């Protein structure tokens, strides 16, 4: 791995070429030192014209004038960076303009390797190295195995194939593939092939890619506009030798990125400078308009070789660039690539050398047929000439340059070799700086989209320009530092030209497919269909009927002795008490024609009181009431009082409630089995000169219904979905066997958290539910509540994550101690993770705070787990509500029922999708009921006061 230290650049260096091979200072500093010896004429040389040749004093100025065209200032680089970045962002939004011509093409590679990939893969590379084709056999060994070098073979593509019919090209590829495999001793059954196709394509899937246009000297007919994967498959089938599945099509840039060695952190940028040039990077999927996807990441091929903004490229295009473009196969296209790509650098050098020779600066003013022939100087020639500029062996270097130039039929003077090297360095340095400006645009995009002050990123580099020209990377690094100071970049050379990366794309796709199957297998039991939900509805309906009759049932169906909901005529001042946890509230509720006004105060219940004697607990409650009355100026007044007591009770009347058992950390003695209203009245009696009229005891579900009922008279159902869950509703009194009377209504506290304790839900319970139940304080009880409520959903998710980790699907199979900790995964995390407003990086931050270092793939899978668990909870809750409203409708013999449900609870209120899923399930299972859900505000306190107010109203009516 190559990592350049972040050092300060001198101001005067910013507008200069940064480096010459061998550590030489900037090129422009050398121009004045070029002596007249190398500029002298050669008298009588064949093919030379002496007329008009410059005198020695003019030569250095001509060379400087010529090479000055290749100088690109820092300001120009910044303009190119900004323009390219703007073009990238426009293209991502689907607003690309022909002027910029940058294509941001999704590659459908959604994940980078994490080192566990294994298996044998075949790779076919076409277009990565110009006029050749390569076939590789790649074996991946996972994290534990040793590295196995790929076996490969390169085949030269004849010119007539590069320019002929498309079928001929793909038949040639299939033949080479077959020839390569014939020579291998390995088992070649069921082969998976990754196809590296390094040309601009429009991908619509990992194995579907349509060629947009040929580049790099190819011009085969009948291919542009067609799926190249299908063309290869057809050719393999015509060949008939092997059964090969073309699993993925990848360009060389993506292959370079994916081929990074594991252990250096995620490599999320690929950069290739070979015959052509391109880059790719991992973009947030939500930013890619054509995908219509809001989660995860996708690798984008920038295709920056086609960048052609005349506003910023025009000033840096030389006369030589224009000449090269005119003589190319695609005039006017790929303008940026023609300044950087290896296919063109040798030609630019040739044009410069021919120009200088014709001006009399080089070779004594003589040219040669070879020098004037297009394609006579190649990238390899430039590399050899540039590499010889080394102080340690200048004579040997000069001799090599002499030999190369003489092979072109040129007569080389004493200083010609050094001048030619400067030409090579000028062309290459400009290419490196332009490439750096483009890379800086990509890095700026990543840094901005991920909202990181300092982006730490690894960039995989590949291609013969990097391999043959070490100075190219050095210039690139320093220029990137200059243009993107907010990015800390590690440059990692690619392995075997990206072939391993193409195999890795195939392997990652295979791994993700296998992990997807395991994920679906584990989440399938949570995905309930209509028939399963309808069965839950029917079972709950049956349990309701049995409970109302007093028969054995998992639903207690407890009468609350609340016989009516508010009708809006209630008036007066009422006290309300709310005891349901470590905080105790006292409220003054004033009900007027203008609405309800509430004044309240919170008092703490110390742990020693909550777990002490019952007398001590209720004395504390009365002390709080007296304190509140004094502060509100109510001392001496006997106001009607409603008592919200959120513990399991069996009511014998509106003001009689037998405590069945303490929960929520309370264990006060001598209370269970006692009437809590009597215990309160006894405490009032012990406190002299205090008069309190306790009218009603209410649980929080009934309070919620009554609170919403004051706002909407159609509210006849109460629902709590928070830490626990419960429901109540208005039942026909004639159906309530425990209470005498045949007319009117009675609110029934269903205590539906225990639904299924008789085994009726066993078919829906998963092994994860069983794990949570076994570790709970009440195994075998509250079955419905343990599948729905906030106390348990996070634990269910945690157990699923443990299972997926053990299968290697998550966290690379590495168990963490934090994930083993019970209750570490709070239900609030489900609400946060499933929030539509959060990007995936925020989801990752939430999980990483739990000590779960994870990839984007892991974050997506955790999201899916949360969605499955919360969706099942909401659907089961909806099935229960559907059973209740259908019961009300049938009780009243109605074809259509319009009813409202009052709801409270943090899970229902805070989860981004829970309420919508509940409502959708009710519509599906109870289509003849028009149900409105109302969120309760202060149902526990306000509801208790309204129960009291309704009771007072009914009592007054009875007296009248």
pLDDT tens for 818-843 read 888 888 888 888 888 888 776 666 77
Task: Please determine, for residue 635, whether its predicted confidence score (pLDDT) is greater than 60.
Answer: yes
Mean pLDDT to the nearest integer, 101-129: 85
What gap in Å lies between CA 574 and CA 592, rounded to an integer?
11
Mean pLDDT to the nearest integer, 453-480: 91
Which pLDDT value is given to residue 61?
A: 74
**CB 706 within 8 Å of CB 726:** no
Report which of 529, 543, 551 is spatially closest to residue 759, judged by C-alpha positions.
Answer: 543
Which pLDDT value is given to residue 840?
A: 66
Per-residue pLDDT tens digits for 249-278: 888 888 889 887 755 567 899 999 998 999
Q: Where are the alpha helices (DSSP H) in 807-938?
A: 827-833, 840-848, 856-891, 906-910, 914-925
Which pLDDT value is given to residue 796?
A: 96
Q: Which one of the listed residues 368, 444, 646, 900 is annotated catalytic?
A: 646
Work out whether the CA dihedral 848, 850, 855, 856 comes out positive or negative: negative
Which pLDDT value is given to residue 37?
A: 29
What gap in Å lies between CA 860 and CA 205, rounded to an integer?
19
Q: Residue for token digits 């609870």?
A: 905
**CB 169 within 8 Å of CB 220:** yes
**CB 433 within 8 Å of CB 72:** yes
Question: Confidence band (pLDDT; 50, 70, 90) for 11?
Answer: very low
Sequential DSSP letters for 719-749: EEESSSEEEEEEEEGGG-TTS--SSSEEEEE
DSSP H/E element including 154: strand 151-156
Mean pLDDT to the nearest integer, 57-78: 84
Task: Please determine, for residue 862, whether its predicted confidence score (pLDDT) is greater than 80.
Answer: yes
Q: Which one of the listed residues 585, 620, 844, 872 is annotated catalytic?
A: 585
Task: Please determine, for residue 168, whether its predicted confidence score (pLDDT) is greater than 50.
Answer: yes
Q: Which fold has domain 60-85+311-493?
A: Hexokinase; domain 1 (3.40.367)
Nearest-Å Rg of the Cα atoms of the chain is 40
For the ranges 284-293, 371-380, 789-798, which has the lowest average pLDDT? 284-293
Sorted by sequence, the CB contacts under 8 Å of residue 303 that are 6+ apart come out as 102, 103, 104, 105, 200, 278
Active site annotation includes 646: yes
Which carries the bigger pLDDT value, residue 302 or residue 292? 302
What gap in Å lies between CA 75 and CA 411, rounded to an integer?
40
Which carries the bigger pLDDT value, residue 128 or residue 57? 128
Task: Please determine, for residue 457, whether its predicted confidence score (pLDDT) is greater than 60.
Answer: yes
* Number of residues in the chain: 960
Task: Please determine, for residue 336, whether its predicted confidence score (pLDDT) is greater than 50.
Answer: yes
**CB 506 within 8 Å of CB 247:** yes
Which pLDDT value is given to residue 44?
A: 37
Mean pLDDT to the nearest integer, 526-551: 96
Which carries the bigger pLDDT value, residue 343 or residue 816? 343
Question: Confidence band (pLDDT; 50, 70, 90) for 98?
Answer: low
Mean pLDDT to the nearest integer, 555-560: 92
Which pLDDT value is given to residue 959?
A: 61
Which carries the bigger pLDDT value, residue 816 or residue 674? 674
User: One fold for both 60-85+311-493 and 527-570+699-959?
Assistant: yes
Which pLDDT value is given to residue 219?
A: 92
Which CATH superfamily is 108-250+497-516 part of?
ATPase, nucleotide binding domain (3.30.420.40)
Task: Please determine, for residue 920, whether its predicted confidence score (pLDDT) is greater than 90.
Answer: yes
End-to-end alpha-carbon separation of the chain, Å? 93
**CB 163 within 8 Å of CB 219:** yes
**CB 561 within 8 Å of CB 653:** yes
What gap in Å lies between CA 142 and CA 148, rounded to an integer?
11
Report which of 844, 911, 925 is spatially closest to residue 882, judged by C-alpha positions.
Answer: 925
Report which of 528, 543, 534 is spatially closest to residue 927, judged by C-alpha positions.
Answer: 534
What gap in Å lies between CA 338 and CA 332, rounded to an integer?
10
DSSP H/E element including 351: helix 342-358
Domain boundaries 527-570+699-959, corresponding CATH code: 3.40.367.20
DSSP H/E element including 933: strand 929-935
Q: Which one of the listed residues 274, 578, 675, 700 is annotated catalytic?
A: 700
Which pLDDT value is given to residue 58?
A: 59
- Determine what percent of the chain is predicted with pLDDT higher than 70: 89
Which carries the bigger pLDDT value, residue 652 or residue 261? 652
Which pLDDT value is given to residue 839?
A: 64
Sorted by sequence, the CB contacts under 8 Å of residue 551 that are 6+ apart come out as none
Which pLDDT value is given to residue 13?
A: 43
Question: Whole-model pTM?
Answer: 0.72
* Three-class SS of 435-447: HHHHHHHHHHHHH
What gap in Å lies between CA 589 and CA 599, rounded to an integer?
7
Per-residue pLDDT tens digits for 225-257: 999 999 999 999 999 888 898 888 888 888 889
CB atoms within 10 A of CB 545: 15
Domain segments of the chain: what residues? 60-85+311-493, 108-250+497-516, 527-570+699-959
Sorted by sequence, the CB contacts under 8 Å of residue 528 that are 6+ apart come out as 764, 872, 875, 876
Question: Confidence band (pLDDT; 50, 70, 90) for 614?
Answer: very high
CB atoms within 10 A of CB 189: 7
What gap in Å lies between CA 49 and CA 64, rounded to an integer?
23
Per-residue pLDDT tens digits for 478-529: 999 999 999 999 999 886 656 788 888 888 888 888 899 999 999 999 999 9
Q: Residue 542, exposed/middle/buried by CB under 10 A (0-12, 13-18, 19+)? A: middle
Active site annotation includes 700: yes
What gap in Å lies between CA 196 and CA 136, rounded to an integer?
11
Beta strand pairing call for 572-579 and 455-462:
unpaired
DSSP H/E element including 753: none
What is the rounded average pLDDT for all residues in the chain?
A: 86
Task: Please determine, for residue 46, whether its predicted confidence score (pLDDT) is greater than 60.
Answer: no
Rounded (5°) CA angle 804-853-254: 90
What gap in Å lies between CA 537 and CA 251, rounded to an integer?
54
Q: Which two tokens stand for residue 406?
A: 């003489």
Beta strand pairing call for 897-904 and 595-604:
unpaired
Report which of 128, 441, 157 is spatially closest to residue 256, judged by C-alpha positions.
Answer: 128
Active site annotation includes 585: yes
Q: In what order do the strands lie in the sheet with 267-273?
A: 2-3, 487-493, 455-462, 267-273, 277-284, 297-301, 105-106
Which pLDDT value is given to residue 48?
A: 54
């Amino acid at each position: 791995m190559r990592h350049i230290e972040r050092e300060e650049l001198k101001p005067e260096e910013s507008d200069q070429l940064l480096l010459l091979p061998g550590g030489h200072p900037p090129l422009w500093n050398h121009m004045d030192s070029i002596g007249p010896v190398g500029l002298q004429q050669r008298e009588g040389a064949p093919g030379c014209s002496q007329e008009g040749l410059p005198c020695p004093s003019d030569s250095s100025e001509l060379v400087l004038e010529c090479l000055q065209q290749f100088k690109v200032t820092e300001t120009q680089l910044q303009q190119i960076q900004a323009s390219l970045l703007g073009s990238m962002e426009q293209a991502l939004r689907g607003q690309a303009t022909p002027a910029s011509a940058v294509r941001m093409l999704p590659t459908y590679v959604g994940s980078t390797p994490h080192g566990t990939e294994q298996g044998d893969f075949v790779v076919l590379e076409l277009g990565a190295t110009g006029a050749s084709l390569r076939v590789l056999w790649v074996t991946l060994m996972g994290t534990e195995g040793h590295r196995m070098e790929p076996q490969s073979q390169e085949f030269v593509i004849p010119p007539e194939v590069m320019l002929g019919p498309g079928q001929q090209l793909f038949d040639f590829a299939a033949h080479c593939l077959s020839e390569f495999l014939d020579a291998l001793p390995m088992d070649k059954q069921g082969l998976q092939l990754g196809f590296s196709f390094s040309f601009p394509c429009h991908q619509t899937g990992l194995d579907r890619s349509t060629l947009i246009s040929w580049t790099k000297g190819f011009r085969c007919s009948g291919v542009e506009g067609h799926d190249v994967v299908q063309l290869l498959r057809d050719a393999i089938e015509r060949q008939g030798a092997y059964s090969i599945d073309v699993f993925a099509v990848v360009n060389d840039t993506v292959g370079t990125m994916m081929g990074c060695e594991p252990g250096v952190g995620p490599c999320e940028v690929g950069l290739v400078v070979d015959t052509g040039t391109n880059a790719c990077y991992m973009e947030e999927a939500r930013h890619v308009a054509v995908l219509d996807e809001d989660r995860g990441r996708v690798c984008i091929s920038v295709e920056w070789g086609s960048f052609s903004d005349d506003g910023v490229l025009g000033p840096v295009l030389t006369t030589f660039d224009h000449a090269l473009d005119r003589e190319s196969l695609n005039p006017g296209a790929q303008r940026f690539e023609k300044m950087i790509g290896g296919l063109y650098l040798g030609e630019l050098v040739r044009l410069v050398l021919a120009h200088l020779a014709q001006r009399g600066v080089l070779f004594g003013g003589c040219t040669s047929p070879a020098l004037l022939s297009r394609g006579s100087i190649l990238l390899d020639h430039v590399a050899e000439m540039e590499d010889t500029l080394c102080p340690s062996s200048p004579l040997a270097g000069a001799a090599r340059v002499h030999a190369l130039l003489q092979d072109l039929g040129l007569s080389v003077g004493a200083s010609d070799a050094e001048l030619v090297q400067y030409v090579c360095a000028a062309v290459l340095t400009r290419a490196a700086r332009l490439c750096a400006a483009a890379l800086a645009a990509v890095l700026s995009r990543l840094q901005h989209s991920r909202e990181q002050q300092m982006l730490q990123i690894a960039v995989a580099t590949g291609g013969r320009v990097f391999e043959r020209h070490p100075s190219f990377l050095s210039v690139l690094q320093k220029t990137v530092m200059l243009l993107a100071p907010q990015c800390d970049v590690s440059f990692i050379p690619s392995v075997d030209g990206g072939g391993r990366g193409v195999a890795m794309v195939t392997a990652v796709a295979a791994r993700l497919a296998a992990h997807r199957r395991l994920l679906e297998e584990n989440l399938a039991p949570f995905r309930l269909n209509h028939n399963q939900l309808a069965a839950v509805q029917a079972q709950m309906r049956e349990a309701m009927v049995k409970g109302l009759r007093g028969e054995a049932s998992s639903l207690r169906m407890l009468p609350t002795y609340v016989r009516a909901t508010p009708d809006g005529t209630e008036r007066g001042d009422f006290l309300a008490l709310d005891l349901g946890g470590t905080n105790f509230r006292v409220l003054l509720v004033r009900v007027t024609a203008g609405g309800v006004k509430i004044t309240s105060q919170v008092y703490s219940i110390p742990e020693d009181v909550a777990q002490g004697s019952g007398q001590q607990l209720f004395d504390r409650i009365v002390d709080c009431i007296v304190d509140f009355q004094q502060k509100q100026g109510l001392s001496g007044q006997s106001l009607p009082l409603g008592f919200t007591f959120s513990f399991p009770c069996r009511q014998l009347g509106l003001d009689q409630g037998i405590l069945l058992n303490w929960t929520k950390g309370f264990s006060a003695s001598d209370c269970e089995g006692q009437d809590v209203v009597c215990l309160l009245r006894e405490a009032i009696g012990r406190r002299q000169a205090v008069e309190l009229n306790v009218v009603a005891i209410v649980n929080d579900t009934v309070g919620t219904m009554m609170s919403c009922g004051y706002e909407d008279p159609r509210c006849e159902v109460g629902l709590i979905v928070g830490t626990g869950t419960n429901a109540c509703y208005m039942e026909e009194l004639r159906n309530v066997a425990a209470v005498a009377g045949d007319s009117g209504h009675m609110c029934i506290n269903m205590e539906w958290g225990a639904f299924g304790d008789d085994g009726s839900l066993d078919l829906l319970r998963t092994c994860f539910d069983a794990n949570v139940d076994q570790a709970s304080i009440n195994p075998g009880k509250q079955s419905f509540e343990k599948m729905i409520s906030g106390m348990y959903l996070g634990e269910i998710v945690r157990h699923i994550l443990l299972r997926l980790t053990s299968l290697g699907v998550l966290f690379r199979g590495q168990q963490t101690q934090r994930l083993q900790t019970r209750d570490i995964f709070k239900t609030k995390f489900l609400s946060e993770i499933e929030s539509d407003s959060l990007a995936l990086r925020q989801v990752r931050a939430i999980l990483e705070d739990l000590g779960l270092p994870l990839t984007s793939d892991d974050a997506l899978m955790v999201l899916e787990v949360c969605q499955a668990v919360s969706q099942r909870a909401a659907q089961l809750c909806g099935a229960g509500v559907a059973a209740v409203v259908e019961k009300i409708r049938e009780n009243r013999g109605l074809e259509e029922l319009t009813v409202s449900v009052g709801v409270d609870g943090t899970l229902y209120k805070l989860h981004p999708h829970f309420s919508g899923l509940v409502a959708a399930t009710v519509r599906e299972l109870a289509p003849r009921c028009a149900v409105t859900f109302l969120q309760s505000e202060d149902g526990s306190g306000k509801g208790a006061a309204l129960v009291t107010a309704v009771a007072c109203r009914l009592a007054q009516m009875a007296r009248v």
